[in-house]
């Protein structure tokens, strides 16, 4: 089984960043009085690489994507840490394919939960518009994606390298959820991202 070059490069980015985090015990430092005086709507910027649909039609030749995402501050906060986990951050982002296969832009909500001070998990849900072709021909390089927009879900596991920088492994899936076609397999990408928190 041939491993996608994009997947290998994504894993290299992730593991290099994780090794730095494991070597030193960084702590997030936040001065709440200073943060409250610096009002900003931006929370975090992320960029990375992903393997395009490595188990499907679009990933047969190791197709890769450049990804980017902006997360905004939570619309409101609570003093209770547990309750704050249920308040999502809005996000917008995109995935640009290098091989003229399906690219897309998306928006939605993200929920981030700290497992330890340095390790977190995240889930997101929203919608995406895409330039994919509705082609079911067996020789086509594109997956049948039926309608646009589609639902988009993603999950990540991340490591904080410092108060500002983090790395994460991410899997995302686009599908119509059975609303447009009974045969829509969807599109699943996996990769690694680097995040910078403001």
Mean pLDDT of the residues in the chain: 82
Confidence of residue 8 (pLDDT cuts 50, 70, 90): low
Number of H helices, E strands in the chain: 3, 8
Which residues are 42's β-sheet partners? 72
Q: Is the confidence at residue 172, as pLDDT, over 60? A: yes
Q: What is the model's pLDDT at position 34?
A: 43
Q: What is the model's pLDDT at position 1?
A: 43
Calculate mean pLDDT across residues 67-89.
93
Confidence of residue 82 (pLDDT cuts 50, 70, 90): confident
Q: What is the model's pLDDT at position 134?
A: 59
Q: What is the model's pLDDT at position 100?
A: 85
Contact of 155 with 169, CB cutoff 8 Å: no
Q: What is the pTM of this model?
A: 0.78
What are the start-end ranges of the E strands in the chain? 42-51, 64-72, 89-97, 104-114, 119-130, 150-160, 165-175, 187-197
- Please name the residue that has the structure tokens 């399906």: 102
Question: Residue 184: exposed, middle, or buried by beta-carbon count in 10 A (0-12, 13-18, 19+)?
Answer: buried
Q: What is the model's pLDDT at position 2?
A: 47
Which residues are 109's β-sheet partners? 90, 125
pLDDT one-digit tens code per residue, 20-64 = 444 444 444 444 434 443 557 999 999 999 999 998 878 778 899
- Please name the residue that has the structure tokens 């889930």: 123
Q: Is the confidence at residue 156, as pLDDT, over 90? A: yes
Rounded Cα gap, residues 50 and 55, in angstroms: 13
Q: Is the confidence at residue 95, as pLDDT, over 80? A: yes
Q: What is the model's pLDDT at position 58?
A: 81
pLDDT one-digit tens code per residue, 115-146 = 999 999 999 999 999 988 655 545 456 666 77
Confidence of residue 104 (pLDDT cuts 50, 70, 90): very high
Confidence of residue 151 (pLDDT cuts 50, 70, 90): very high
Rounded Cα gap, residues 50 and 7, in angstroms: 6
Contact of 186 with 168, CB cutoff 8 Å: no
């Amino acid at each position: 089984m041939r491993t996608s070059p994009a997947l290998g490069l994504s894993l290299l980015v992730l593991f290099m960043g994780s090794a730095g985090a494991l070597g030193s015990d960084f702590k997030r430092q936040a001065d709440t009085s200073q943060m409250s005086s610096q009002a900003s709507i931006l929370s975090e910027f992320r960029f990375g690489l992903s393997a395009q649909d490595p188990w499907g039609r679009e990933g047969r030749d190791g197709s890769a994507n450049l990804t980017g995402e902006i997360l905004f501050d939570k619309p409101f906060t609570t003093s209770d840490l547990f309750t704050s986990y249920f308040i999502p951050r809005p996000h917008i982002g995109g995935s640009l394919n290098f091989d003229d296969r399906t690219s897309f832009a998306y928006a939605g909500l993200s929920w981030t939960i700290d497992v330890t001070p340095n390790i977190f998990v995240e889930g997101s849900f929203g919608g995406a518009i895409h330039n994919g072709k509705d082609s079911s021909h067996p020789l086509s390089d594109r997956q049948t994606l039926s309608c646009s927009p589609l639902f988009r879900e993603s999950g990540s596991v991340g490591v904080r390298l410092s108060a500002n920088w983090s790395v994460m492994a991410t899997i995302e899936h686009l599908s119509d959820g059975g609303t447009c076609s009974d045969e829509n397999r969807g599109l699943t990408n996996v990769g690694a991202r680097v995040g910078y928190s403001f």
